[in-house]
Amino acid sequence: MQDNDLGNYRKVYKKKELSKKEVPENPMELFQKWFYEVEEFGGNIEANACTIATVDKNEIPQNRVVLLKKYTWEGFIFYTNYNSNKGKSIENNPNVCLSFFWHNIERQIIIKGKAEKISENLSDGYFESRPDGSKLGAWASNQSEVVPSREFLDKRLASFEEKFKNKEITRPKNWGGYIIKPISIEFWQGRPNRMHDRIKYTLQKNYDWKIERLAP
């Protein structure tokens, strides 16, 4: 394999800035503001795409991209198969890290917190809103398990298409939502000369947020 030196990859960040004096007391307000600005700025096809890091039972971390489906004052919600690798890791260790990178506006957000399952009725409500194909996919895929072939998956999907033909497609009990309740949220804004703006919110015992600037 030919060596590929990426040392000359360079980008100058200069689109925005982030001042500690101007940020709100609650980080969820700033998250909402940034999320809307990313969509308005354009360039991100899926602004809700984010990376979630979990730690398995052997204390080995794993990252993967998921889609954020809702955020509230309480936290960040995504959906998955509870028996997947991420689901098993969360069951073993609920401490997770969620991160967004929006290259079009030179921003990232790093969220540390604890994940817990949302109520079944909330998972039911979201599942009902999904297209039928996605609903059937949740039944057909035993996420993260080894399968013999693509044909095996296609046959499983076909079997559930037949099973639910002309019937309501109910939510599998092993599929649903998690909410990540943050304990810290860091907002990163790219700046020239690698002197980036980093503002970190840390949740205190009285549920107020401590706001600090970090060195880039």
Q: 20-130+173-214 is classed in which CATH architecture?
A: Roll (2.30)
pLDDT in tens, 81-96: 999 999 999 999 999 9
pLDDT in tens, 5-25: 767 766 776 778 899 999 999
Quick one: average pLDDT of 161-173? 97
- Identify whether the C-beta of residue 52 lies closer than 8 Å to the C-beta of residue 96: yes
CA-based angle 98:189:51, to the nearest 5?
20
DSSP string, 105-137: GTEEEEEEEEEEEPPHHHHHHHHHHS-HHHHHH
130/170 Cα distance (integer angstroms): 11
43 Cα distance to chain centroid: 19
**HSE-CB for 110 with a 13 A CA cutoff:** 8
139/83 Cα distance (integer angstroms): 12
Mean pLDDT of the chain: 94
- Identify whether the C-beta of residue 184 lies closer than 8 Å to the C-beta of residue 201: yes
pLDDT in tens, 177-191: 999 999 999 999 999
What pLDDT, on a 0 to 100 scale, did the predictor assign at position 42? 74
- Identify whether the C-beta of residue 175 lies closer than 8 Å to the C-beta of residue 195: no
What pLDDT, on a 0 to 100 scale, did the predictor assign at position 7? 74
- 45 by Cβ neighbours in 10 Å (0-12 / 13-18 / 19+) ranks as exposed
- Single out the residue of 9, 7, 16 nearest to residue 190, CA to CA: 16
pLDDT in tens, 25-66: 999 999 999 999 998 887 667 999 999 999 999 999 999 999
All residues at 6 or more sequence positions from 93 whose CB lies less than 8 Å from its CB, including other chains: 54, 55, 56, 57
The catalytic residues are 194
- Identify whether the C-beta of residue 196 lies closer than 8 Å to the C-beta of residue 216: yes
